[in-house]
Structure formats: structure tokens, C-alpha cells
Amino acid sequence: MKKTILLTALVLNGLTASFAQSNDEKNIKLFYKKALTEAKCYSWLEYLSNDIGSRLSGSKGAAEAVEYTKRQLETLGLDKVYLQEVMVPHWVRGEKETAFIVDGKVKTAVPICALGGSVATPKTGLTAEIIEVQGIKELNELGADKVKGKIVFYNRPMNPENIETFTSYGACVDQRYAGAKEAAKLGAVGTIVRSMNLRLDDFPHTGAQSYGDLPKEQYIPTAAISTNGAELLSKTLKVNPAVKFYFKQSCETLPDVLSHNVVGELTGSVNPSNIMVVGGHLDSWDLADGSHDDGAGVVQSMEAIRILKNLNYKPKNTIRVVLFMNEENGGKGGAKYEELSKQNNENHIFALESDSGGFSPRGFSIEADDANLKKIQGFKDFFEPYLVHSFTIGHAGSDINHLTSKAIVKAGLKPDSQRYFDYHHAANDKFDAINKRELELGAATMTSLLYLIDQTGIVLPSAN
């Protein structure tokens, strides 16, 4: 009997020991509690989206967002809050675009929107025969004889088979970004691009495009067409290859405008010269509020540093929240941040970006060597109670991509991506598409990784 009691006591003691939480586990639990019960990120985003609205670089909304987020960071009691000047592009859409499929005497309206940086059509619009291709490769195979004088219709859809929807996006976004340039080389008069969207709907999705090194006189107007519009146009062309297309847009590029990155920081208590960045991009496209892209990333980054400050956490390294300007159509904010970092001889050891929407967090996309990847993957047990499980190599973020410190690890928050492209760069990317709890969970997940990296550091390259 005594042996049984002793064995039972040992087992119970063992169970007690195995379930005892480490300080890191307790702190991470506290981060999630704070995010889910006291967060400000949702109310910050509501103001950015509903009171300020779209924030395309150079716009009034972008300027207002700079001032608003700076004021909010100043209320948090950070060690520093300041602005970084950056010159940014100023492209304006003008009046709403119009487009028609012209099949003989029948004109059928379809939803389009100009792509960022596009030139306008003639004031009366542009009408021409249209030729459908599945991408730039097929366009070049056709050659100038079949393309000259026509509107090129890029209709390669995002592949629905990929679970990771960003893989599908990456496989066809080249036709949006470089499609006009390549078509112009062959004498096309305009381009229409199927929206980067997995579902069929009536929302055209804008986005950046580039004419590259083409002379300005060769620029041609380019627009996105909704997925429903693309399906209709493709079916019409199959019945009547001689169908024509009409579209009208009045966009233009104005002189560059002075804008700012917004920066706030907590100074490190042990290694203040080692800098850890957490951020998102403050600008958005002009069709909507940009609540998912990237208002969510902005307020999640602000929330991460708010949680740490609110808990009186004293970071070992300097933690810096950076709200970058002009990610969408130029990347000038990220480039300026890196330029100033080099001038100041700053040493960044870690950078975390949120620019994949405000959906439920699933993990992180990591840019690191094998040693640091394994280190971060070793944190999995801390995150599993919060249903965060994916720690894989991949692109971390466009703005932090500019950072080139000698030894730096980069990570991007990886939310569930299944609905992201329903909203990406479209008129429905509004505040009502945001789920408060999912937004807060993302902020807590970011806070937790910042904390773990700050506590443990990164694996430095071998001196050999």
C-alpha cells in the first residue's frame, strides 16, 4: 500500500512538473490575453479605414494617416516617435473608368479599373480589336504581326489547386506588372488584364504595373477587368474573334510628393544598437479603405509594441515599429528606411512584417539561414496552443526586403490566405471585411515572436 501511495505521489509530481508553464509560456499567454481583451488595433483600424479612407501615396489620405498614426504612437509612452521624410510617386485615377465589349451593334458593359501608373486612354476612349493570351510567353510567340494595333487581353487565371494562394498569385502577376510593357513592344494599343482573384465576381482589382525602360511615347493604357468580365469577354471572343473592346480612363502621374515613414521605438536595455523591426505599409490603393492591405498590418505592428510597453517589458534589443509609405506603387518608404539605416550605421538583427491581411494567423514565412530557421521552428511548441503551426522558408515582406544588415533574420506574418485575394486591391477591401478577433490574434502572434527573438537573439554566422 505504501509503495502504491509513493508511486502515485511520484506520478502526480511528475505530472505537475510536466504541466508547469515556463516564463516564456506564461508571457505568451499574457500577450494573447492582452490582445483579445484590451487591444486598440481594431479601433485604430476603424479610424484609418472609415475616417481617413484610402491612402495611396501622395494623397490627402496618406498624409492624414501619417499624422494619425504618429499621434497614436505618441500616446503609448515609447522612448522615441519620429517621421522619416521620403519622396513618393503621386498617381491619380481620375474619373471612374468605363468599358464595353463591342459585338457588332451590341455593347455590353464590363467592370474595369486602371492599373497603377497607367497612362490615360484618349479623351474619347480607345476602341480596337482584342486578342486573348494566357500570358507574356504566349504574347511573344504570336509576334508583332498578330498584335500590332490591337488590345491585348491577358487572361491567365490564378490556379485554384494551390492551397497557398500566394503561390497562385505569384504565378500570374507578371502579366499585370509587365504586360503593358511587353505588349507595347509589339505594337499593341492597350492591355486588359484579368484581375488577380480566385473567385468569380464583379470587382476589378488594381495593382502596380511598370513600363520599364520604354520611352514615354510608347506607353499604352492598361486596366484590370473583373473575373466575371474576363469570363464573358473570353466566351464572346470564342464566338466572334472579330469582337472589339472599348475602354476609357483618365489617370495621370503628377510630380512626386513629400511623405513620411512613421517610426516609434523602445530602446534596448542590453544591446540597444541591435535593432528589431516590426511593421506594415501605411499606404493603400485608392479603390477602398485598404483594411486588409495593409491597414491590418499597420495596426497589428502598433499593437505589438503597445502590448510590450503596456506590460512594462524591457527589451534586450531596440524594438522599432515602422509604418512604411509607398509599398504599393514604388517601395520608396522601405528603400528610404534602408538608406537612412546605412547612413546611421544601424545594425538590424530581425525584421517582422505583416502584409498578408488580417485573417487568422497560421505561422510565419521566414528568410533565414538553416541555423536561424531551425531556431524559429524550435518555437513551435509555444505557438501550437494558439493554432499557429507553419514556420517555413519564404518571402517575408516587400518593405523589409530592402534591409541588408550583415546578419539579419526576416519573417512575415502568415495568416490564412484563402480569402485574401477576394479583397486584395479591390473596392471591397473595407473595414467590414475585418474580423476583430482574427486581427487581434495576429497582433498577439507577432508580439510573441518579437519577444522570443528578443529573449534568445539570433544565431550569428560562424567566424570561419
Question: 23-29 long-range contacts, Cβ below 8 Å, gap at least 24?
Answer: 24/382, 24/451, 24/452, 24/455, 25/382, 27/451, 28/382, 28/383, 28/448, 28/451, 28/452, 29/385
Query: Looking at the predicted structure, is the pLDDT value of residue 18 above 80?
Result: no
Each residue's pLDDT tens digit, 241-273: 999 999 999 999 999 999 999 999 999 999 999
Query: Looking at the predicted structure, is the pLDDT value of residue 200 above 60?
Result: yes
Whole-number pLDDT of residue 461: 85
Distance CA 140, CA 155 (A): 15
Longest dimension (CA), the chain: 98
- Quick one: what percent of the chain has pLDDT higher than 90? 94
Distance CA 429, CA 418 (A): 15
Query: Looking at the predicted structure, is the pLDDT value of residue 411 above 90?
Result: yes
Whole-number pLDDT of residue 13: 39
Whole-number pLDDT of residue 186: 98
Residues known to be catalytic: 327
Q: Are 414 and 356 in contact (CB under 8 A)?
A: yes
Query: Looking at the predicted structure, is the pLDDT value of residue 4 above 80?
Result: no
Q: Are 188 and 147 in contact (CB under 8 A)?
A: yes
According to DSSP, the β-strands at 222-225 and 252-266 are unpaired
Band the pLDDT of 121: cuts 50, 70, 90. Answer: very high
Which segment of 13-17, 293-297, 319-323 scores lowest on mean pLDDT?
13-17
Query: Looking at the predicted structure, is the pLDDT value of residue 128 above 70?
Result: yes
Closest CA to 284 of 296, 274, 294, 276: 294
Whole-number pLDDT of residue 64: 98
**Stretch 101-111: mean pLDDT, rounded?**
96
Query: Looking at the predicted structure, is the pLDDT value of residue 20 above 70?
Result: no
Distance CA 383, CA 273 (A): 29
According to DSSP, the β-strands at 244-248 and 126-133 are antiparallel
